[in-house]
Structure 1
Amino acid sequence: MTNPKTKSSTQTSQKSNRNGARRRVAPRSIYTKTELQEMFRRFSVQRPEPKGELEHVNAFTLVVAVALSAQATDAGVNKATRSLFKVADTPQKMLDLGEDRLRDYIKTIGLYRNKAKNVIALSRKLIEDFGGEVPRTREELVTLPGVGRKTANVVMSMAFGIPTIAVDTHIFRIANRIRLAPGKTPDEVEEKLMRVIPPEYLFHAHHWLILHGRYVCKARRPECERCVIADLCKSPEKSCDVPAPLVELPPQVIGVAE
């Protein structure tokens, strides 16, 4: 005997197309469209022009910086690449530098030996397959050694102005914590975020969420008293319902030597 609840659930999550085949219907967000609009409006007021915090001088150095940032902090990567990018800011210069000398520049970064191999390999592939230019499509970018979907999305957004969501640890945590786009994998979270974020806010949403996770909705303890969306947030961990004052934050300072 069919369980009525199961049948009802199936009927709400699937619909028939014209050919009679079943297609899945994406679950609705627990946030209303009005709440989502207001959430990202506030982020836009707080940080009108958010920026990534990895220092780079062109699309190639951005690819390298993002690849090096896996399991490392932006600050740690920046400290290592400031000197590196002065001598190797193109694929050919990186090849000329060589793997051994490259390791000397990035040895303070975790997994630096394997990352040095990947950087040299991706530099060679850029020259051999792409004429020394960084490709603009995700499909081409992920063919580069050490470049996965997250890195490709960052490069597409920051280097070429293509709206994407790169799900790093901060975005993955926030999407699940505040139930904005819960998912078990980064790809699942990315797909849901692309669907729920209002289109007019999509271009900057990646950086808004990362910076919110880095400085407010922190991993160990979310600082709800400093959160501008505290009243909208649906996290079970929330400790405050009163939003912080909505004011524009001071401009980000990036690329200043320590």
Structure 2
Amino acid sequence: MILTKKLYNCIVLFAFIVTSLLFVGCANTEETTNEDKELDPVIEEVDVKQTHDDTKEETNKEPTENDLIIEVKLAYLDEITYYAIGDIFNEQLFSDGEWSIKDGKVSFQGYFNKEIFPGEPSHITVLFHQSDSDYHYSITIKYNGEDVTQESHELIIDQIESLLQQNSPFKGEYVIGPWEAIKLVEEKTGLQYADEFDTSKQQYKTEPVPIQIFGVYTWIIPVIDPDTTSYVGELFVDWKTGDIYNDYGEIISH
């Protein structure tokens, strides 16, 4: 009888242990399942972000033959001109893109403003280069690696030319040239252009750069005192009138 009772107690204890183990196992399985369910949205969110980053990276890709590639050659490509180009072209022609300067060249990777260019390929690359001529610009458009005729993209060319013509530094049209501006400053102020003089060519090695300032288009003329060779500052010569401005915007010579 005692043996039977002990056997009974052992069976009950064994059953209790087995039941407890099964309960714990089920609880762990359910918790793991719940954790997996909670992780699913996080994994999807990461995937979405990764896709977004990939898209952004594609926007700044190197230009390929399948892009609509617009090449614009300009007479002057100094740092001032880079940012002026960016402001004017980005505001009026393009949208959702980025400008960059690399190895002395400025480029735009982005998309056409569809209100201006309906039906055009959305992704474009615009490359700006230094012109071979000091006084002209040129526009070349390529698509799929081939030159595009002016007739087929007349609207694009007209829009870009219009911007270049409205903003004189990019076209290079002026009445008074850079060398004439230097002579005017030296004759009327007695100061000297702050650049190394090339005796073999009888002219300075570096041309003044253009800038729009005080509401007019001017040449920047950095000057020195010829007697002491100390740097004086910058003067600005109006392209059309020859008026000379100081850096406060005051006309110091007509």
TM-score range, shorter chain: under 0.3
Where is the strand percentage greater, Structure 1 or Structure 2? 2
Report the structure number with the largest CA radius of gyration: 2
Bigger relative CO (Cα 8 Å, ≥ 6 apart): 1
Where is the helix percentage greater, Structure 1 or Structure 2? 1
TM-score (norm: length of structure 1) = 0.24
TM-score (norm: length of structure 2) = 0.24
